[in-house]
């Protein structure tokens, strides 16, 4: 299906610290830059590549094979490929699945995504783990490497970048409840780079969802008379989103139930006086262990973030409690506001790709909304 490669075009990956890797072109020919990150997931590459949280990132897939099963038009999390570039070991430009609607090669070329394959991704991942997150550049058009390094030096650090405005919806839109569902809750979703599966997890539970652009004011969202507020995932540095933090602070004071995911979790934390910090290496994969401190149970989760809530800042926020921790490094994975129906998690309970251990959080959010409605 689609295009196959008759010849391999040389490509190069250069890291900001001077490390160099040679390989061959995958996707479109050209040049791309971004912060390099790695994902440890063994499956779900299409959902991963279309996640807006990866905007402006060059993604290394730690799994050895990518592209084998092609792509399918329903297995997307947004309207286009969001990663800035792809790095993989073995790259398949043909699809070995009867239900595939195209190849990964077609998919990447459609959105002009530049990639590199046939390099030692294990050595690359080890280097990133030891050296930390940094910017990188991929080139497959023969540009001189001195020029590539000049371009790479001009790429801004992810720290301090507000990127949600580049991926949020241009206008509000509605998503209707799934057929046969019974909840009548109305959810106002602040789109910081939302994944489609988050909206679907809400409509599957009977919610009517109105998705608002990230710069929508709290007053505009509340004028729709929602039963609850969803703060979505998204890319970039939460510390650069000062206006959104103020919006979320006003939404908290409305006493509506609130559920934040990933970037939404971080912005909620900032609205309560906590701090966020950039991680040496982020969490990206579909097998991250998290402990629910309220139940004592562990969950295997899907994660994708390069910033985290600073645990030390919780000491000055007595109204915030930690509800979940990441079991690999003890970082904050979830918080709740005492005395309010407001909570958030650093990971992705909707998964896609990933396990569904944490989808109970959507049920908890719906229950919070229904409880408030009954009390009213």
Catalytic choice (47, 162, 299, 350): 350
pLDDT given for residue 98 in this prediction: 87
More confident residue, 3 or 279: 279
pLDDT given for residue 7 in this prediction: 56
Topology of the domain covering 10-153: Glucose Oxidase; domain 1 (3.50.30)
Q: Alpha-carbon distance 359 to 202, whole Å? A: 10
| Domains in the chain: boundaries | 10-153, 164-375
> Is 219 one of the catalytic residues?
no
DSSP state of 102: B
> Is 262 one of the catalytic residues?
yes
- Here the tokens at position 50 are 């279309």
In the chain, what percentage of residues exceed pLDDT 70? 97
> Virtual CA dihedral for 169, 264, 373, 199, nearest 10 degrees?
50
Band of pLDDT at residue 273, cut at 50, 70 and 90: very high
Q: What is the pLDDT of residues 231-271, one digit of tens each?
A: 999 999 999 999 999 999 999 999 999 999 999 999 999 99
Name 96's Cβ contacts closer than 8 Å, sequence gap at least 6: 68, 69, 70
Catalytic choice (265, 283, 324, 348): 348
What are the residues facing 308 on neighbouring strands?
277
Percent of the chain that is helix, strand, coil (3-state, to 5): 25, 30, 40
- Asked whether the predicted pLDDT for residue 5 surpasses 50, the reply is no
**Buried-state track 310-348, b at ≥16 Cβ within 10 A, e below 16:** eeebbeebeebeebbbbeeeebbbbbbbeeebbbbbbbb
Band of pLDDT at residue 1, cut at 50, 70 and 90: very low
- Asked whether the predicted pLDDT for residue 96 surpasses 50, the reply is yes
- Asked whether the predicted pLDDT for residue 4 surpasses 50, the reply is no
Assess contact for 13 and 138: CB atoms under 8 A. yes
Q: What is the mean pLDDT of the chain?
A: 95
pLDDT given for residue 372 in this prediction: 74
In the chain, what percentage of residues exceed pLDDT 90? 92
Q: What is the pLDDT of residues 301-346, one digit of tens each?
A: 999 999 999 999 999 999 999 999 999 999 999 999 999 999 999 9
Name 8's Cβ contacts closer than 8 Å, sequence gap at least 6: 24, 25, 118
Catalytic choice (117, 139, 207, 262): 262
Assess contact for 61 and 87: CB atoms under 8 A. yes
Region 164-375: CATH code: 3.40.50.880
pTM of the shown model:
0.95
Q: What is the pLDDT of residues 130-150, one digit of tens each?
A: 999 999 999 999 999 999 999
> Is 321 one of the catalytic residues?
no
């Amino acid at each position: 299906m689609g295009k196959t490669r008759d010849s391999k075009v040389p490509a190069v990956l250069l890291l900001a610290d001077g490390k160099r890797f040679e390989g061959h072109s995958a996707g479109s020919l050209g040049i791309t830059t971004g912060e390099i990150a790695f994902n440890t997931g063994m499956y779900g590459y299409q959902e991963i590549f279309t996640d807006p949280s990866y905007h402006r990132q060059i993604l290394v897939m730690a799994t050895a094979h990518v592209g084998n099963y092609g792509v399918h038009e329903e297995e997307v999390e947004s309207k286009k490929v969001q990663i800035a570039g792809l790095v993989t070991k073995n790259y398949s430009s043909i699809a070995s699945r009867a239900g595939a609607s195209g190849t990964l090669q077609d998919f990447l070329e459609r959105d002009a995504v530049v990639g590199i394959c046939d390099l030692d991704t294990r050595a690359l991942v080890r280097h990133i783990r030891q050296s930390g997150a940094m910017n990188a550049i991929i080139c497959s058009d023969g540009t001189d490497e001195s020029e590539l390094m000049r371009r790479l030096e001009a790429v801004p650090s992810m720290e301090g970048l507000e990127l949600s405005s580049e991926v949020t919806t241009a206008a509000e839109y509605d998503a209707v409840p799934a057929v046969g569902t019974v909840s009548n809750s109305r959810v106002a979703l602040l789109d910081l780079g939302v994944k489609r599966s988050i909206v679907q997890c809400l409509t599957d539970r009977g919610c009517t969802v109105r998705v608002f652009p990230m710069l929508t004011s709290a007053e505009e969202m509340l004028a729709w008379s929602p039963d609850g507020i969803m703060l979505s995932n998204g890319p970039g540095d939460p510390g650069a989103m000062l206006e959104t933090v103020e919006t979320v602070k006003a939404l908290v004071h409305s006493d509506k139930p609130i559920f934040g995911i990933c970037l939404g979790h971080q912005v909620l934390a900032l609205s309560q006086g906590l701090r966020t910090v950039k991680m040496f290496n982020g969490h990206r994969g579909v097998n991250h262990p998290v402990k629910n401190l309220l139940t004592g149970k562990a969950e295997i989760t899907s994660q994708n973030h390069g910033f985290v809530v600073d645990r030390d800042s919780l000491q000055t926020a007595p109204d915030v409690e930690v509800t979940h921790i990441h079991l690999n490094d003890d970082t904050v994975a979830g918080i709740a506001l005492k005395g309010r129906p407001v909570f958030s998690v650093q990971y992705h309970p909707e998964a896609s790709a990933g396990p569904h251990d944490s989808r109970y959080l959507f049920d908890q959010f719906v229950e919070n909304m229904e409880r408030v409605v009954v009390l009213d």
